[in-house]
Chain A
Amino acid sequence: MGAVNPPICRRDLPVEASFLNPALSSIILNMQTANSPAPVEPAASTGADVSPATAIERDTLTATATQSTDQPPVAQIERVSKQFKGVAALRGVSFNLERGEIFGLLGPNGAGKSTLLKLLLGFLHGDTGSIKLFGSTDLTKAHARVGYLPEQPRYHGNFSGREYLEFQARLAGLRARDAKAITAHALKRVGLEEAANRRIRTYSKGMRQRLGLAVAVYASGDTPPELLVLDEPASGLAPEGQVAVREVLLDCNRQGSTILLCSHQLTEVERICSRVGILRGGKLVALTRLNDQSRVVIVAAPRSRGFELASYLIEYLRNLHPAVMIKGGLLETEPLVVSLPTGNDVPHAASMKAAALRAIVDARWDVVSLHVENRDLESIYMHAVRPSRKDGAAETQAGDKPPEAADVAPGQSTSTVEASSHESPAPDVAQVDSSEANDSVIVPDAAVQSETLEVVPASQPLLVRPVSPNGSAAPVEVPEALPADTAVETPPVARSGPSTAPLPPLPDSIETQTDPPSQGQWLRDLRREGS
């Protein structure tokens, strides 16, 4: 990507002092001083949009999102639950909106998206939990800094677009003359100049949508609001209108607006959002960034005496790259899962992978599996919204479609406890690492698609199961005595095939997958076989 590639190792890590053998140390040192571009990983080929334009957009967004970190998050949603007529519309939803980000809120119809937006704006009150906007629980006061575009925007049809926009500008605090000026500007920006004096009731759906965008974005002053809450902003628009909406949103984001975008259009969300959350049945089942889509995942288990070097190994791997994610490996019976960033925009990705593998082997650990995860939003979404075996029964009892706020008669929300069927911990696919707050959440592993597999040569037999493109695992070398039900390819993270194809049922969470109950047993069996 760039002309100068930063080293993949942190320079403050004394490579010479590491536990690695001299040959590997020299490789790392060479990598640190290399000027030539690193070998490029194969591009993700699962339909994920990794076009340069998208990458640039995301870079911009990410850069913007990292600004002003000393201020509180724009929105803090903590364990918010909401019931209508005893049916849970939202169940313990928690996430933050960071300044400058574009956050996509996804989910099927009835998942609770609109309810969440209405809670965020104070139209509804949560049964439990808390919501803060700009650090304050006074949500109405925060409206001065918020622009809202409701789903299917409906406005007082007896007014003209100009009159209504002027009224909104006046409500936002503009003086009469300023309101007229900003109204003329807004009408021009959304292409409603010629229809400005027509009654809104004569507007088409697309024109109402554009009027709504003008109300939300432009009516409150010369700069867009600090927070834009948009419910299906491109709904009803022609393709060129959708492109224009995207440009408007990106422009607002460049000017500092944080955007909460609720949409069913995954392509649009994938193009402009830096982070997405997926709701299903009122639960936030996935929360992930979209700018780190491809990762190499290595699963390793210690051989005899290999665990003694675990802490050194983990420290070394952690220092390979700031975006390295490590799970497990702290107990002898616990496999080590190393997730390395990869892709075109990660310098020295291949070398980093080689270094990690070599370090694992040198530390006397077995590479149990290795694969590349390609996370495209559609596959993430499809996995996240599919009911799992565990909570299927609960959702059936509670009704397949938790009602949106608008579906329920007013005054009938309750604050009773959730139905017992909901008390069992439904699988949160989103697993939040406490050290990384909301940002390092693991997306459902079914969404990843295996692309490559490499077997690392080692002195000891490797227990590697390559994953074929159709998703079936073919063992390369598995001890014969290994019980059939002790799946060696733990975690079974590699699922492949077209992203639109129905995926097989999966375990409910990463945690479960990386630490199955039989883990200790199969390791003991493994060692017995090895010895």
Chain B
Amino acid sequence: MEATAPQTLSAPQAEQAPRVKPRQNPPVFWKLVRFTLSDYFRTAWVLLNLAILVGVHTLFFQYKSGQSHFFGIEYAATMLQAALTCAVMFARSNRAESYAILARQVSRASYVGAVMLAAWLVAVLAYALSALFDLLYFSEWATGQPLLDWQTPTNYALGSAPVLVGAAFAVCLVTLLSTFVSTSAVRLGTMTLLAVLVMSFDARNFPFEGVRPMLQNIPPVLAPLAGALKFATEQDTIATVSLAMLGGYTLLMLIVALALAGSRELVLD
């Protein structure tokens, strides 16, 4: 193979370059998203997404599921897909290959944003495939029985809202925990904060007795993470507020991640 490739560069005066001029300040964000997706789908990691998809259906969708069952499983599965995909994408970005991209007129923030969006899109695609598969597998055409009452476009659209926001939340969280974006201190701080917030739900088993009263006084900051799922079945006030708060958390983490990425030094392997 290599023997067929020419081993020398051609003479500089061999051919005149075509007359082309680059645009000033070209929009690069969507090119980066497309490139990141294209790169990801050429790796074996995409098989992991498929494995999760198949595994979830094998384990949890053996029968026609109810609305809460379906969205409950998809909510968690899509967050898992988003988190894993995002982690893989940032691990791939954290290599010397990225120097050539960032040597163009590409800011760190836009590159990080593009990777985040690409990871979220992969998770959304996985969710869409899962829902479609579920619809087809239990369709009247396949089973001879009609669809369940809840399986209407409106219910799917409303139920998808927390799934998509949850996936975005997972992407932002993993981004904050990635080496490409955050320093060790930021990562450690984020994980500590998460641990404390989770512990604050029930501080009775916290190992340090003196801290328990303090933990009990912490409001349930992560409660919207669970409350948002309720929006998939009941769009009441609590569910709506929870979903909005989850979106707020996601937005906050997105801003923090982009700010950190902009100031982060680039030391790639």
Contact = CB atoms under 8 A, between A and B. Distances in A.
Interface string A98-120: 00000000000000000000100
Contact of B267 (A172, A182, A250, A405): A405
B19 A222 contact: yes
A244 B14 CA distance: 12
Interface in B33-89: 35, 38-39, 42-43
Nearest to A204: B2
Interface string A125-167: 1000000000000001101101110101111101100000001
A148 to B, nearest CB: 4
B26 interface: yes
B195 interface: no
B103 A146 contact: yes
Interface of B is mostly: loop
A213 B9 contact: yes
Contacts of A141: 105
B8 to A, nearest CB: 5
Interface in A388-411: 405-406, 408-411
A190 interface: yes
Interface residues of A, number: 71
Interface in B126-185: 179, 182-185
Contacts of A251: 12-13
Interface string B174-203: 000001001111000000000000000000
Interface in B1-35: 1-2, 4-15, 17-26, 28, 31-32, 35
A264 interface: no
Nearest to A181: B18
A408 B266 CA distance: 11
A173 B9 contact: no
Contact of B104 (A150, A153, A171, A193): A171
Given A191-B8, A221-B21, 12 more contacts: A121-B103, A124-B266, A125-B265, A143-B103, A143-B104, A148-B99, A150-B100, A152-B96, A191-B9, A406-B268, A410-B94, A411-B264
28 contacts: A124-B267, A150-B103, A167-B31, A167-B35, A168-B104, A170-B31, A172-B22, A172-B104, A173-B22, A173-B23, A188-B15, A189-B15, A192-B5, A204-B2, A218-B17, A220-B22, A221-B20, A221-B22, A222-B18, A222-B21, A241-B8, A244-B8, A248-B9, A251-B13, A406-B268, A409-B267, A410-B265, A411-B267
Interface of B: 1-2, 4-15, 17-26, 28, 31-32, 35, 38-39, 42-43, 94-97, 99-107, 179, 182-185, 264-269
